[in-house]
Amino acid sequence: MTLRFENVSKRFGALIAIDGVTLDFAPGQITSVIGPNGAGKSTLINMAAGSYSVTAGRILLDGIELQRLKKHQIAQEGVARTYQNIRLFDGMTVLQNLEVCLFAELVGEAWAEVLLSGAARRSRAARVERCRGELARFGLEPLAEAMAGDLSYGNQKLLEIARAAILRPKLLMLDEPAAGLNHAETESLKRRLRELMRPDLIMLVVEHDMSLVMALSDHIYVLHQGKLLFAGSPQEVQANPAVQEAYLGSPGEIDQIRDTARRRTNRVRIRADADIERRRPHSV
């Protein structure tokens, strides 16, 4: 069982975000995708999850072509993801945020829940039981009745992962899970992600935090300007000169950029802008 991006391209108008990339992700290991900003990392997740359409190529999960499916169908195939900027249901409780993930599984029996009062109570109880158990695994059980929107940032991130995990997905994609976390929280995250690992789970992590990536990953893909720059183990990636150049820039590049910026002029009518300039002190 594998995830494969086969010759995948994505363009937004004239901008090519991903350019003919082929990547394989194996189960039972944590594969990270890294690269400087604009490399197209989040785009990969968005395409696999169905938020973006694929301009060319295929995305295959166990032979199923994900790029043909609708978003909810992809999720029902066992694909779970977290978001860079958290998207929880703020107005629902922590427990409900988890319960609602069971929708696809349980909606078929909803009619029984409505028409038979005994069944209603029983199914709700079973559901709550299951979700509380999951919350306990993440240490969030005491917060079950709190509104998701009221949680601390760290707990919200945890809840997102709990939601992604509850249905035992085949593919778990994490979009910058460590963003905004302090050192202790990042360590905790590392532990949890390792705990979540199963032999039949494919975990794809997009991340900027290098210490986390190097400590956590079994395999790393480095993207740069929409193309695959390098692939290998954490040690190999750290040592590779091309990767270093991509992140830090080659020696002459910085000066080149400075020169160009100085020489460029904007040929736009100034009059209107000048007006705003003059008025700015009053308008703040």
Partner 1 sequence: MTSDRSALNGAAASPALDRLGRARAIALPLVALAAAVIAVLNAPTYYVRVVDMVLIYVLLGTGLNMVVGYAGLLDLGFVAFYAIGAYSYAILASGQFDIHLHFALVLVIGGALAGLAGVLLGIPVLRLRGDYLAIVTLGFGEIVRLLLNNLDWLTNGPQGISRIDEPRILGFALAEPQDFFWLLLPLVAIAFTLVWRLECSILGLGWAAIREDQDAARGIGINTTFAKLLAFGLSATLGGVAGVVFAAFQRFVDPVSFSFWESLTVVLIIVIGGLGNLVGVAVGAAALIVLPELLRDYAEYRMLLYGAGLVAVILMRPRGLIDRRYNPAWVMRLLGWR
Partner 2 sequence: MAGFLLQQLVNALTIGAIYALIALGYTMVYGVLRLINFAHSELFMLGAHISYFLLAVAAANAGGAALTLVLLLVFAATFVVVGLIGVGIEAAAYRPLRGASRLAPMLSALGVSIVLQNAVMLFVSRRPLPFPAFLPQLSFELGGAIVTAKQLFIVGFSALLMVGLTRFVNATSFGVRIRAVSENLQTAQLLGININVPISLIFFIGAGLGAVAGIFYSSYYGIAVFSMGFIVGLKAFTAAILGGIGSIPGAMLGGFALGLLETFGTGLLPIVSAGSIGTEYRDIFSFSVLVVVLLFRPSGLLGETVTEEGMVYKRDF
Chain residues in the site for partner 1 (CB under 8 A): 49-51, 70-72, 75-76, 80-81, 83, 87-93, 95-96, 99-104, 106-107, 109-110, 113-115, 117, 120, 123-124, 127, 145-147, 149-150, 163, 167
247 binds, among partner 2, partner 1, none (CB under 5 to 8 A by kind): none
Taking CB atoms within 8 Å and a gap of at least 24, the contacts of 273-280 are none
Out of 2, 7, 12, 142, the only residue in the binding site for partner 2 (CB under 8 A) is: 12
203 CB contacts (<8 Å, ≥6 apart)?
29, 30, 31, 172, 173, 174, 193, 196, 197
For partner 1, the closer of residues 113 and 218 by Cβ is 113
127 binds, among partner 2, partner 1, none (CB under 5 to 8 A by kind): partner 1
CB of 113 to partner 1, least distance (A): 4
CB of 127 to partner 2, least distance (A): 26
Question: Identity (one letter) of the amino acid at 277?
Answer: E
CB of 56 to partner 2, least distance (A): 15
Q: Tokens 């300007």 correspond to what residue?
A: 225
**14 is a site residue for partner 2 (CB under 8 A):** no
- 74 — phi, psi (to 5°)? -60, -45
Quote the DSSP letter at residue 29. S
95 binds, among partner 2, partner 1, none (CB under 5 to 8 A by kind): partner 1
CB of 216 to partner 2, least distance (A): 25
Strand order in the sheet with 15-25: 15-25, 3-12, 56-61, 64-65
For partner 2, the closer of residues 80 and 229 by Cβ is 80
User: What is the secondary structure of 136-192 as a DSSP string?
Assistant: HHTT-GGGTTSBGGGS-HHHHHHHHHHHHHTT--SEEEEESTTTT--HHHHHHHHHH
**9 is a site residue for partner 2 (CB under 8 A):** no
**Of residues 82-141, those binding partner 2 (CB under 8 A):** 83-85
Quote the DSSP letter at residue 241. H
Helix residue spans in the chain (DSSP H): 41-49, 71-76, 94-99, 103-106, 110-115, 117-137, 153-165, 183-196, 210-216, 234-239, 241-248, 253-263, 271-283
**Of residues 43-62, those binding partner 2 (CB under 8 A):** 46, 51-53
What is the total count of residues that contact partner 2 (CB under 8 A)?
18
- Contacts to partner 2 by CB under 8 A: 12, 46, 51-53, 83-85, 271-273, 275-276, 279-280, 282-284
